[in-house]
Amino acid sequence: MHPGAWWIWALGLGTAASRTTNPLLLALLMAVAGFVVATHRTDAPWARSYTAFVRLAAAVLVVRLAFAVLLGSPIPGTHVIVTLPEIPLPHWAQGVRIGGRVTAEGLLFALYDGLKLAALLVCVGAANALANPARLLKSLPGALYEAGVAVVVALTFAPHLIADVQRLRAARRLRGRPDRGLRGLLHVGLPVLEGALERSVALAAAMDARGYGRTAEVPAAVRRTTGALTLGGLLGVCAGTYGLLTAAGDSYGLPVLLAGLGAALGGLWLGGRRSPRTRYRPDRWGVRAWLVAGSGIAVAALMILAASQDPAGLRPGVVPLVAPDLPLRPAAAILLGLLPAFTAPAPRRTPAPAPEESS
């Protein structure tokens, strides 16, 4: 499977999550992403980062609720759960309070808001667990090669760090040494940092041996044309996006956006001539990649359409305090995200060694 297809699928789910605060739809989105990861995650080190993203999402949700309890909520409520001691603040801090009444409406609003951010983190974690970062770098155009290297190194840092921590903690447990608490953290942290430094040096040596950073000579006219197309394309994308977000720009927003995208793509194509390189066994974008990417795009498009047609269903209110409903059409659109679980090729897992027979 092409790694770009997994990222488009995950970004489609993330776009759908950004259009709603309905907790039922957000929970369904996270369940869809988790099911696809469970069926197609490999044994590679980067695939283990999904658990870390899930824990990060849970931590974000807890922190958001804690802020709502300690700092209050802008949502007025009548169902008071508890009244905390309130710290008086100076007059210049009007509108901010510490302590006071904690209402069910305010907590529910914070829960909806935190679930949306948690769903976005789960979608990004799914893309990290399913897409091979090295293959993703190989698929980038030549003009984005340097930026792609930086992004891939950043994305692979967390999975390798988690794998090193798990390996060192397992080694300490086998030796009968503590692996929890402050003492265990101090004894694990130094080898982890040492391993990260060794990987950085090895990566720098490998990049230098492969001629990283060397560029080809191109005519000055091509360089100027590349810069003009890229800069003009980015300005066109910004202007077109602004036009789509404002009521007065409905007539020119989409054409300017498409023209800007075309100019930016042309600049990237010309810029790729400065980085001549070959690809060994390039990943092919086949029918299955189209199905995986198309399912994510379909989920995002249908959720954007549903947000314009039924905003109350996708953004339920908390005043008055009522249980949210599950809109059937957006829920059916989210279920389209399960298509990769049945169309993407099954991952190749390393078989477990057979137990040795005792003589």
Question: Which residues, including other chains, have CB under 8 Å from residue 350's CB and lie 6 or more apart?
Answer: 43
pLDDT for res 353: 47
End-to-end Cα spacing for the chain? 45
pLDDT for res 133: 73
pLDDT for res 36: 92
pLDDT for res 356: 47
Are 128 and 99 within 8 A, CB to CB?
A: no
Q: Alpha helix locations (H) across the chain?
A: 3-18, 23-40, 49-71, 104-130, 133-139, 145-174, 181-209, 220-245, 253-271, 287-309, 311-314, 328-335, 339-343
Which residues of the chain carry a pLDDT beneath 70? 93-95, 140-159, 179, 181-186, 200, 204, 207-208, 210-216, 218, 244-250, 272-280, 348-359
pLDDT for res 352: 46
Whole-number Å distance between alpha carbons of 36 and 344: 10
Whole-number Å distance between alpha carbons of 65 and 72: 10
pLDDT for res 33: 92
Backbone phi, then psi, for 99, in 5-degree steps? 90, -160
Nearest to 277 by CA among 235, 221, 339, 215: 215
Whole-number Å distance between alpha carbons of 42 and 155: 17
What are 3-16's pLDDT values in tens digits?
888 989 998 998 89
Contacts for 258-261: CB closer than 8 Å, 24+ residues apart: 260/232, 260/233, 260/234, 260/235, 260/236, 261/233, 261/236, 261/237
pTM exceeds cut of 0.75: no
What are 202-215's pLDDT values in tens digits?
776 776 676 665 66
